Chain A
């Protein structure tokens, strides 16, 4: 059996590699919507980490005078990729490697989840569809969405944790849930919303059905006092996981108000899906205004659409044959999730987006497809579970390859100097992500040094520049006004000989840039980004939650035996 599991591992490795092979056989990088920004972030994180910044909030050479990219970028993949890039010094290669890693781990973890319910080969058929799903290909070759792809790892882990915590009563599973929620929070908090449409229906499915039901009355038997404890513990694990990510999510929620982005209450771009997006298979090299990138046409894909249609037919047939208990299957839960996704991607959900503001964090209604791509593979796996003959599985894999392999290509590969990833004049995120007191980054002159004397006579004797701090020694013959070519953001402080000096950042000639006064004489000046009270509180909350996580883990046997729950 172990031989076959190893073969499955190899097969998943192979198809994952094929899905992104184009990145590795071509020179340079393909044109995608977000890829160049992620590559530049990776380079910036490398520099920040090398400067000793952790967690990374500020990228000092991004957008001309530095930007608070760490507040709104994807902490987990970028921090790890940043570390790897310190060794590789090649942001394009690092990006490609991390894309592969995200795809492979997502596939393998989801395979492990499918194996809880289904046979090996049926699960591999499902993973083949997941690997080459239409939305995944769009994410790789058109959108360049590394963090969204990376997030998939944690969905699989949460589902595995949910099963083992509820159905198998394993105490370690609660820690897996907490850890996965933590990682998901600091990878892509929007996915907390989208993935919920599967996680919570699945939680209630496992609670009611546990290891399967013969009769509908079994459901009632499965609801016990222990179930309530398990649900409470599940949600505690979720809160603990999200709590551990507070150092990222709190500034994201409370300090992006200093960016143009924060001035908008509703972040939703109303790109709802219609029937064309759900039926058919449409790929474009050029599409409307998408000239540079491949045409972005958001779609679920013909194979996925067929899987859903057949899934509904099979379910209705099963309900007619076996009664309502047929609904309490993994396919049944998956189809509920499909309906929720379709609802949230369509105009039907418009009133919800208008009234529930946190939903608008997904930015595009079609982002719920980040969950959808996992649903048809579950349905496909369940179809093949019923078929004893292996030939249909091979034919299905061939069918997927015929339809999707021709789409495995990147457009307009081009080479750029490595330095262009480390220093950027433009804010590669839109101007929306600039602090509200600044103008367009590219409109500011590029300066070769961080410090400049605006008024007075003096000389900079020494300077020590880091990503989010600098130390200067200055000899001033007269009182000086100095500029630090850094965009001001709350948390930046100037100390002259250890004393706090007021920052002026609203001088029209230096709009949004740090300027300050220095008296005559010899001085040591420190300009440094420090934590605001929000960040201090956020880090404290994260530390407390991480402390609880560690304590609970150490004393898990005592804790769970006291609660009379779990099997360590």
Chain B
């Protein structure tokens, strides 16, 4: 058989090109962090497991750790208005999370995080108690992973996981960069507490 008669015969350069294209695409799917966690449930499981293990071990939710977890567990985007979001925006987010907090007094909801598997609402409140800011009793908790002062992580009977916490602004400013804490937005955050309500969809 001559070389021409071998349709499967590939020069080493051709093989290298095929290898390069295949390699780059595979690496793209498995190594680019937001692509991986969007495509593969096992990756999300790994990130969630790491988060839960750390939270249970440390018995607290570290703001920076949480902020990073949220972005990589289920990539999404923020809708932010430091002076308060519109009623319509808040309503959509509340429906998605399954809570109602818009009518709570002295609550400025300023941030929504929207993604396929995780939704978050953040607000600045004047109360220093999570139970005063939001009623958690209505949730049908099936498994409590963390229940500390002003911090709760639990699953409900539908398999959704909730992360709730209330922290002072001094902790908020270590993770949430949407505010200028020292200058322009000082009056907005002074004397307030940072409330976060996050829901991770069930399997």
Q: Cβ of A286 and Cβ of B64 under 8 Å apart?
A: yes
Q: Cβ of B34 and Cβ of A401 under 8 Å apart?
A: no
CB distance from B26 to the nearest CB of A (A): 9
A478 to B192: give the CA distance in the assembly, Å: 53
In addition to A7-B17, A414-B80, 8 A-B residue pairs with Cβ atoms within 8 Å of each other are: A11-B24, A21-B28, A26-B76, A28-B78, A286-B64, A291-B173, A390-B13, A408-B33
Q: What residues of chain B lie closer than 8 Å to A27, measured between beta carbons? A: 76-77, 114
Known: A27-B77, A412-B71, A414-B77. A401 touches B27 (CB 8 A): yes
Q: What residues of chain B lie closer than 8 Å to A15, measured between beta carbons? A: 24
CB distance from A128 to the nearest CB of B (A): 8
Q: Which residues of B contact A (CB under 8 A)?
A: 12-13, 15-17, 19-21, 23-25, 27-28, 31-35, 38, 64, 68, 71, 75-80, 114, 173-178, 184
Q: Cβ of B34 and Cβ of A286 under 8 Å apart?
A: no
A442 to B183: give the CA distance in the assembly, Å: 13
Q: Cβ of A402 and Cβ of B32 under 8 Å apart?
A: no
A99 to B114: give the CA distance in the assembly, Å: 26
Known: A285-B64, A291-B177. A14 touches B12 (CB 8 A): no
Q: Cβ of A25 and Cβ of B16 under 8 Å apart?
A: no
> Is A121 interfacial (CB-CB < 8 Å)?
yes
A21 to B33: give the CA distance in the assembly, Å: 11
Q: List 28 A-B contacts (CB under 8 A).
A: A4-B13, A7-B17, A14-B24, A14-B25, A18-B28, A22-B34, A26-B76, A26-B77, A27-B76, A120-B13, A285-B64, A286-B64, A390-B12, A390-B19, A393-B20, A394-B19, A398-B23, A398-B27, A401-B27, A401-B31, A405-B32, A408-B33, A409-B33, A413-B75, A413-B78, A414-B79, A415-B78, A415-B79
Q: Cβ of B174 and Cβ of A401 under 8 Å apart?
A: no
Contact with B along A258-276 (1 / 0, CB 8 A): 0000000000000000000
A292 to B38: give the CA distance in the assembly, Å: 23
Q: What residues of chain B lie closer than 8 Å to A508, measured between beta carbons? A: none
> Is A124 interfacial (CB-CB < 8 Å)?
yes
CB distance from A341 to the nearest CB of B (A): 29
Q: Cβ of B13 and Cβ of A121 under 8 Å apart?
A: yes
Q: What residues of chain A lie closer than 8 Å to B184, measured between beta carbons? A: 442
> Is A513 interfacial (CB-CB < 8 Å)?
no
Q: Cβ of B23 and Cβ of A401 under 8 Å apart?
A: yes
A293 to B67: give the CA distance in the assembly, Å: 12
How many chain A residues touch B (Cβ–Cβ < 8 Å)? 39
Q: What residues of chain B lie closer than 8 Å to A4, measured between beta carbons? A: 13, 17
Q: What residues of chain A lie closer than 8 Å to B75, measured between beta carbons? A: 25-26, 413
Q: What residues of chain B lie closer than 8 Å to A14, measured between beta carbons? A: 21, 24-25
> Is A397 interfacial (CB-CB < 8 Å)?
yes
Q: What residues of chain A lie closer than 8 Å to B71, measured between beta carbons? A: 411-412
Which A407-436 residues sit within 8 Å CB-CB of chain B? 408-409, 411-415
Nearest 7 pairs of A and B residues by beta carbon: A292-B177, A405-B31, A401-B27, A414-B78, A390-B16, A27-B77, A291-B177
Q: Cβ of A402 and Cβ of B31 under 8 Å apart?
A: yes
Which A3-30 residues sit within 8 Å CB-CB of chain B? 4, 7, 10-11, 14-15, 18, 21-22, 25-28
> Is A406 interfacial (CB-CB < 8 Å)?
yes
A341 to B18: give the CA distance in the assembly, Å: 37
Q: Cβ of A409 and Cβ of B79 under 8 Å apart?
A: no
Q: Cβ of A405 and Cβ of B177 under 8 Å apart?
A: no
Name which of B64, B71, B173 has the most chain A CB atoms within 10 A of its CB.
Answer: B71
Q: What residues of chain B lie closer than 8 Å to A25, measured between beta carbons? A: 34-35, 38, 75
A11 to B28: give the CA distance in the assembly, Å: 13
Q: Cβ of A405 and Cβ of B20 under 8 Å apart?
A: no
Q: Which of B19, B31, B38, B78 has a CB less than 8 Å from the CB of A406?
A: B31
A292 to B172: give the CA distance in the assembly, Å: 12
Query: Which residue of chain A has the shortest Cβ distance to B180 in the bound complex?
Result: A292
Q: Cβ of B77 and Cβ of A413 under 8 Å apart?
A: yes
CB distance from A102 to the nearest CB of B (A): 20
A289 to B187: give the CA distance in the assembly, Å: 21
CB distance from A28 to the nearest CB of B (A): 4
Query: Which residue of chain A has the shortest Cβ distance to B80 in the bound complex?
Result: A414
Query: Which residue of chain B has the shortest Cβ distance to A417 in the bound complex?
Result: B81
A402 to B24: give the CA distance in the assembly, Å: 10
Known: A285-B64, A291-B177, A412-B71. A124 touches B20 (CB 8 A): yes
Query: Which residue of chain B has the shortest Cβ distance to A31 in the bound complex?
Result: B177
CB distance from A163 to the nearest CB of B (A): 25
CB distance from B185 to the nearest CB of A (A): 12
Q: What residues of chain B lie closer than 8 Å to A18, measured between beta carbons? A: 24, 28, 32
Q: What residues of chain A lie closer than 8 Å to B38, measured between beta carbons? A: 25
Q: What residues of chain B lie closer than 8 Å to A401, measured between beta carbons? A: 23-24, 27-28, 31
Q: What residues of chain B lie closer than 8 Å to A292, measured between beta carbons? A: 177-178
Which A111-138 residues sit within 8 Å CB-CB of chain B? 120-121, 124
Q: Cβ of A393 and Cβ of B64 under 8 Å apart?
A: no
A16 to B10: give the CA distance in the assembly, Å: 27
A516 to B77: give the CA distance in the assembly, Å: 48
Q: What residues of chain A lie closer than 8 Å to B28, measured between beta carbons? A: 18, 21, 401, 405
Q: What residues of chain A lie closer than 8 Å to B33, measured between beta carbons? A: 406, 408-409
